Amino acid sequence: MNQESEKEKSDDAPEQGRIQRLLRTLERRGGVEVRGCEPVPYEERTATNYFDIFSIWFCMQCNPLPITFGMFGTLSLGLSLRDASLIIIFFTLVSTLPVAYLCTWGPKTGMRQLVQARFAFGKYFVSILILLNLATLTGFCVVDSVIGGMALSAVMDGTTINATAGIVIIALLGLVLSFCGFRILHVYERYAWIPALLAILVATGCGGKLLKEQVQVPTATSQQVLTFGGFVASFMLPWAALSSDFSTYFDPKGSSFRIFLYTYAGLVLPTTLLMILGAAMGGATPNVPSWLTGYESNSAGGVLAAMMHPAGGFGRFMTVLISFSLLGNLAATMYSVTLNLQMLLPWLLFRVPRVFFSIFITTLIIPIAVEAAKSFFLNLENFIGLIGYWSAAFIGVILVDHIFFRRRNFAAYTEDKHAWNDQKKLPPGFAATGAAVGCFALVIPGMYQTWWKGPIAMKTGDIGFEVALALSALLYVPLRLVERRMCGR
């Protein structure tokens, strides 16, 4: 370990000693992950149950969250079920590719995704990405808590458990899982998708006959297609910034193609099917009074509860399972939040253990979720409309840096074990930051949001994420060449 890191660790040695002893006890007796965002050494990357990669992504997506996103296409944008389904299929298949590819980097480097990003953005400029990713992940945690809490409230008709109490319950359960870390999280996600999928299938079976009551709408315009396509991509692309967080402990000798395939299938299968289900629900909701009432009070959770109402007590039990299915997404997202908080300021790396941030993020999520629930769909639309842009710019830069400049050579990240935390051995980050920021000169005119419609987007629809991905990649090449010549690294 370099001298800077040793100095950081020794500043508060007595306190650190007591904390580390406590954490080691939790690790031995409870399976709690003590390691933070520092890279996993080669000899500790020993996990070989690669199917866990499929199960964690599948479980993260097998819940009402994709259903809610699918409802947006038909209920808010006025698309037909057919048009919405085709958009969902195409944009999901395409936007999941970089997420699956980046997941294969975890076993090869042992590094979390935004630690790897330091090799393009530098030790300090990467904090801009971390802030954006924290805002994104916290937003997803809020959405998970709101949908889960509302679904739980819908079971009790808002009396025994109201939306606020439901949000608190879901958030606290997510805290427990994220606190435990990698090993227990993977074990939970390995099985939790089973009751979640069963409950969603039961809900579909109970209300399926009403899905045919679709509202008749005109053929989709290009603005509608690209706007909803951007919305779908904005649901998938942000996973790229935490993709390798869930694969760092796996044996690097395993097949990268296998990891790619498990990640891709784990994301695409549930997302595509559940978004289409959500689009069908959204298209039928205005014509089904009980669904409309449920939607107006509890969004997607209320519609699912209304679908299961004819099943009586069994339907209520299934709705509870649906509300708890959000824990798979919430816990995994909170886990990455704890790593990002530790990375945000370099001095936090050795002073504040990862597990403590689980408590911090939970206390932050609960009040935000309670407030966001008051105008959920508007807040969701505004939130999702932004995150796809920066995620696409990040992907464009990081892929070009790895493929073009590092020639897909993972030894470039790991030859020097201390380079990841040494600014003198990392790029300054001017080129990556300049490319990611500079692309917004064309992204902004191509944005189509409720609060801003750019002049280009008024004619084409939202093309922001496509422009961000392509232009950031193109800008990075000349900027990085100049940076290397001037700085020598």
Q: What is the pLDDT of residues 400-411, one digit of tens each?
A: 999 999 999 999
Question: What's the average model confidence in pLDDT over 9-14?
Answer: 46
Question: What's the average model confidence in pLDDT over 113-138?
Answer: 92
pLDDT of residue 57: 96
- Judge whether 165 lies within some domain: yes
For the chain, how many structural domains are there in total?
A: 1
Question: What's the average model confidence in pLDDT over 439-459?
Answer: 89
What distance in Å separates the CA atoms of residue 463 and residue 222, rounded to the nearest whole number?
11
- Judge whether 250 lies within some domain: yes
**Mean confidence (pLDDT) of the chain:** 86
Provide the CATH number for the domain around residue 161. Answer: 1.10.4160.10
Q: Which tokens is 37 given?
A: 């965002």
pLDDT of residue 12: 47
- Report the DSSP beta bridge partners of residue 250: 47
pLDDT above 80 for 69: yes
- Judge whether 485 lies within some domain: no
- Band the pLDDT of 4: cuts 50, 70, 90: very low
pLDDT above 70 for 297: no
What distance in Å separates the CA atoms of residue 257 and residue 463, rounded to the nearest whole number?
30
- Judge whether 5 lies within some domain: no
- Judge whether 405 lies within some domain: no
C-alpha of 160 from chain center: 32
- Band the pLDDT of 435: cuts 50, 70, 90: very high
- Report the DSSP beta bridge partners of residue 356: none
Place of tokens 């990467």: 126
Beta strands in 171-311 (DSSP E): none
- Judge whether 484 lies within some domain: no
- Band the pLDDT of 18: cuts 50, 70, 90: low
Place of tokens 């920021």: 437
446, 467 in Cβ contact below 8 A? yes
- Band the pLDDT of 346: cuts 50, 70, 90: low
Place of tokens 């869930």: 246
- Report the DSSP beta bridge partners of residue 453: 448
Find the domain containing 196 and state its range.
43-374
CA dihedral angle for residue 411, residue 414, residue 420, residue 425, rounded to 10 degrees: -60
- Band the pLDDT of 338: cuts 50, 70, 90: confident
At 234-277, the pLDDT tens digits run: 999 999 999 999 999 999 999 999 999 999 999 999 999 999 99
- Distances from the Cα of 57 to the Cαs of 6, 81, 114, 171, 239, in angstroms? 36, 26, 19, 20, 10
- Judge whether 65 lies within some domain: yes
pLDDT of residue 373: 72
Place of tokens 């891709």: 264
pLDDT of residue 13: 47
- Band the pLDDT of 475: cuts 50, 70, 90: very high
- Judging by beta carbons within 10 Å of its beta carbon (0-12, 13-18, 19+), is residue 195 exposed, middle or buried? middle
88, 73 in Cβ contact below 8 A? yes
- Judge whether 386 lies within some domain: no
- Band the pLDDT of 428: cuts 50, 70, 90: very high
What distance in Å separates the CA atoms of residue 388 and residue 232, rounded to the nearest whole number?
9
pLDDT above 70 for 301: no
pLDDT of residue 9: 44
Half-sphere exposure of residue 337, counting CA atoms within 13 Å on the CB side? 29
